[in-house]
């Protein structure tokens, strides 16, 4: 990646695993929530109360996921292989987080680094203890965190209000979720409108810089401003309608069917009720690598590939002005047909989605090529990458979000939107026809050289997924 000189790569390797003694003491109420929905358009349990801040709950109040799995074995199995389960121990997150702690230079940057933990280790942040090992059983986004969210105060930067029971005393308290008639067991149950709507996901999946308010990850906002949010409850497609319906064999995107998943939230012999739909807890996105997923992930990698392959389509149009042994002109259109948010979304300064184009003659000789990956995993610098480029205070591009002060460019594809790429080049004389033109849309979670720099000897080769392709043969 051109943003990294050899010197910077070496510096990252030296810094990333350095333990940091820096302590943060900012009040999360200064940066969470980032905005509120107007009255009448918010779930009943988005309130004007104060958010939960560090020290207001204890880690011992929350049940471990394996405890929840005793009564909800299928849901636990889904969750345990998810990125939510891996949110704290994800080695790439840990590397970036530690690098940020080591290099943050002012209060604005320090606030931003601290805010990461509120979503990646919500129980640790809320209890005031984030110095726990990465394999702590209550690290990540666990069952008893989500279902102890009684309310939120708005959207963005994790504005949750927690009301846990007391696991230490085996008192379950109230768990909040999508059903109004669940039987009480070790815990009571209460219907939560918030848990059925995108606003719940928008608590963490809308992130602004905690120091300067720069929008960094805006997945919820992208959805809210897009065509899947019709504002009509009968036709709106919420985050849950795609990401909590998917299971093996059913990608459940905007371009596929999203069938119900009938079954039991807990076994029938334990009092579970058979329901027409049980929300799945795989929480599949675009992550198909061992870096983002727990070691025990079984179904998730293939489901991520299935989701990516149903996210976009491509079209190829030859300009009729093209001439034999002269200029060849064609247009490739990439359409976001399956995502309810921008493509890609999330940590978009790191994501790599790019177009590979190749033109070959009748003997397979390459006439034109862009977007290839070399032996070190580096993408051809001449191709277009669909991502966000952040700038620092000096106006230079940066992938260090804590140092970002503005957006230099955003080349992503909005939901049900498209990007057009025009190609013009000379075809050499005596070329043997027909010509074959092929376009492939690729996706990778991060640049390989950045991953190598951050993880060093523990780095792995990130998979490249072919999301869509188009090809044609022409005789000019």
For the residues 233-246, what does the mean pLDDT come to?
Answer: 97
Q: Which two tokens stand for residue 96?
A: 């970036």
Q: Residue 148: which region, alpha, beta or left (left: phi > 0; alpha: psi -120 to 50)?
A: alpha
3-class DSSP state of 370? strand
The sign one gets for the Cα dihedral 132, 134, 140, 142 is negative
Domains by residue range for the chain, with CATH: 6-306 (no CATH), 307-474 (2.60.40.10)
> CA 193, 198, 202, 205 torsion: positive or negative?
positive
pLDDT tens digits along 112-124:
999 999 999 999 9
CB 326 within 8 A of CB 426: yes
How far, in Å, CA of 405 to CA of 364, rounded?
A: 47
- pLDDT of residue 260 exceeding 70: yes
pLDDT digits (tens, 9 = 90+) for 285-323: 999 998 999 998 999 999 999 999 999 999 999 999 888
What pLDDT sits at residue 12?
Answer: 41
What is the overall mean pLDDT for the chain?
Answer: 93
Model pLDDT, residue 7: 35
Give the pLDDT score at 382.
Answer: 86
- 87: nearest Cα among 27, 15, 136, 28: 136
Per-residue pLDDT at 4 exceeds 80: no
Q: Which two tokens stand for residue 326?
A: 């002269």
**Terminal C-alpha separation, the chain:** 38
Confidence of residue 131 (pLDDT cuts 50, 70, 90): confident
Over residues 396-414, the mean pLDDT reads 98
Rg (CA), the chain: 24
Query: Is pLDDT above 70 for 403?
Result: yes
| Statement: the pTM of the whole predicted model exceeds 0.85 | yes
Average pLDDT over residues 361-387: 94
Q: What is the pLDDT of residues 415-463, one digit of tens each?
A: 999 999 999 989 998 899 999 999 999 999 999 999 999 999 999 999 9
Q: What is the pLDDT of residue 9?
A: 42
- Whether 50 and 153 have beta carbons less than 8 Å apart is answered as yes
Give the count of beta carbons closer than 10 Å to the beta carbon of residue 142: 25
**pLDDT interval class at 189 (50, 70, 90):** very high
Q: Which two tokens stand for residue 448?
A: 């390989």
How many whole angstroms separate alpha carbon 464 and alpha carbon 384?
16
Q: What digits encode the pLDDT tens for the residues 326-363?
A: 899 999 999 999 999 999 999 999 999 999 999 999 99
Cα(33)–Cα(358) distance, integer angstroms = 47
């Amino acid at each position: 990646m051109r943003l990294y000189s050899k010197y910077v790569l070496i510096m990252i390797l030296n810094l990333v695993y350095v333990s940091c003694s820096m302590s943060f003491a900012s009040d999360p109420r200064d940066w969470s929530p980032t905005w509120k929905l107007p009255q009448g358009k918010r779930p009943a349990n988005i309130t004007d109360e104060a958010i939960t801040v560090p020290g207001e709950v204890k880690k011992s109040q929350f049940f471990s996921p394996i405890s929840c799995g005793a009564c909800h074995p299928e849901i636990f199995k889904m969750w345990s292989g998810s990125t939510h389960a891996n949110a704290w121990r994800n080695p790439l997150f840990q590397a970036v987080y530690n690098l940020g702690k080591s290099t943050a230079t002012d209060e604005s940057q320090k606030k931003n680094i601290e805010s990461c933990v509120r979503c990646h280790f919500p129980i640790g942040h809320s209890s005031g203890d984030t110095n726990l090992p990465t394999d702590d059983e209550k690290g990540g986004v666990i069952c008893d965190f989500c279902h102890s969210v009684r309310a939120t105060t708005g959207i963005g930067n994790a504005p949750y209000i927690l009301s846990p029971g007391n696991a230490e005393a085996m008192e379950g308290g109230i768990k909040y979720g999508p059903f109004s008639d669940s039987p009480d067991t070790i815990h009571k149950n209460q219907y939560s409108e918030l848990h059925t709507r995108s606003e719940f996901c928008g608590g963490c999946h809308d992130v602004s810089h905690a120091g300067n308010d720069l929008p960094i990850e805006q997945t919820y906002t992208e959805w809210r401003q897009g065509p899947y949010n019709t504002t009509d409850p009968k036709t709106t497609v919420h985050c849950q309608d795609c990401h909590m319906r998917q299971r093996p064999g059913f990608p459940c995107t905007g371009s596929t069917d999203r069938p119900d998943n009938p079954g039991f939230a807990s076994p029938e012999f334990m009092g579970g009720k058979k329901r027409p739909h049980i929300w799945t807890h795989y929480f599949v996105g675009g992550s198909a690598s061992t870096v983002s997923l727990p070691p025990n992930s079984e179904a998730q990698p293939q489901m991520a590939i299935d989701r990516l392959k149903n996210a976009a389509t491509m079209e190829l149009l030859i300009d009729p002005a093209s001439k034999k042994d002269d200029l060849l002109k064609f247009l490739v259109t990439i359409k976001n047909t399956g995502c309810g948010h921008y493509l890609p979304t999330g940590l978009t300064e790191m994501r790599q989605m790019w177009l590979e184009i190749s033109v070959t003659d009748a003997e397979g000789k390459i006439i034109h090529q862009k977007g290839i990956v070399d032996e070190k995993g580096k993408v051809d610098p001449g191709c277009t990458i669909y991502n966000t480029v952040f700038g620092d205070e000096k106006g230079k591009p940066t992938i260090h979000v804590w140092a970002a002060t503005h957006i230099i460019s955003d080349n992503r594809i909005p939901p049900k939107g498209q990007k057009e790429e025009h190609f013009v080049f000379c075809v050499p004389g005596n070329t043997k026809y027909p010509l074959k033109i092929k376009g492939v849309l690729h996706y990778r979670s991060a640049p390989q050289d950045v991953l190598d720099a951050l993880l060093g000897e523990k780095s792995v080769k990130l998979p490249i997924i072919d999301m869509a392709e188009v090809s044609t043969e022409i005789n000019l």
